[in-house]
Amino acid sequence: MEITLRTPGVDGLAQAVGALREWQDEGAPTQLHPGDVGWFWRFGAEATAAAVRSWSRDGRILAVGLLDSPRLFRVTVAPDVRQDEELARRLAQDMAEPERGVLGAGKASVEAPTTTLIHELLAERGWHADEPWTPLRHDLTEPLPDPGVRIDVAGPAQVDARVAVQRAAFDSSTFTDERWHAMAAGPAYADGRCLLAYDERNQAVAAVTVWSAGPGKPGLLEPMGVHRDHRGRGYGRAISVAAAAALRELGSSSALVCTPTSNTGGVATYASAGFQKLPETRDSRRDA
């Protein structure tokens, strides 16, 4: 049967997110998570739909991708077709050729599971390995220690504080109250939580959003940040421990996070919170 590429539209987003949820599994390679789509949902349902692509054969979704930025496409595939050469060739072709409507011309990167043939096929087209990323995993079999600071779940009443920490943690952040509400209205946030950490003066100093993919499946931290005025005091560790605990309460089997290997401070923070480093991954990059 022919493989069909489509942009699902708002009505088709639930099916795409459902496929991503189904594909999450312990032992699977680092891959696109429903929480990644959930975090993107801060831009609204229509923008999210425009950024998602799916590939189907005989009516079944085999791969789902997200245009996370104009130059970064993140894609994953169903577990039983990770070595399907026909699918991998179609994905590589669609991502490499701008006229197919996945990635524009010029510089671009593709994130895909290392167990697929996608990176190899892009290399044949002149793409090469990008900078390394470090995935980290926290097993959630046992209860988590107390984070040592006050932690609250951030709901509508705490949006101002949640947004303020995000913007103070990431210099280029465009997060707003309106975007928090858009994100929280998305279907993925039904299994998500925003947490805030407070210091002894009751100031919000760190924040994280966690995303469950359902009971017995890996959950995701995306994003986590510490207010620029409160770094170096252990709040990153505290909010990361709290994030793992929240995912455990949601039934997740593990907590996952991924950060550039060059972010040595971030890697060290997650490690201090009990996350174990996994083998590095690299995107495929096209320079021109």
Instruction: Tell me the one-letter amino acid at 181.
Output: H
Residue 274 C-beta-side C-alpha neighbours within 13 Å:
20
The mean-pLDDT minimum among 25-34, 119-128, 230-239, 242-251 falls in 25-34
Provide the greatest CA pair distance for the chain: 62
d(Cα 199, Cα 11) in Å, to the nearest integer? 42
Structure confidence by residue, pLDDT tens digits, 174-232: 999 999 999 999 999 999 999 999 999 999 999 999 999 999 999 999 999 999 999 99
Instruction: Tell me the one-letter amino acid at 267.
Output: V
Contact between 266 and 259 (Cβ < 8 Å): yes
- pLDDT at residue number 29: 85
Residue with tokens 């739909």: 49
d(Cα 71, Cα 97) in Å, to the nearest integer? 13
Kindly state the average pLDDT of the residues 5-22.
96
Residue 27 has pLDDT above 90, yes or no: no
Radius of gyration of the chain (CA): 19
CA distances from 136 to 16, 90, 106, 114 (A): 25, 30, 31, 16
CA distances from 252 to 19, 106, 179, 229, 279 (A): 17, 39, 26, 32, 21
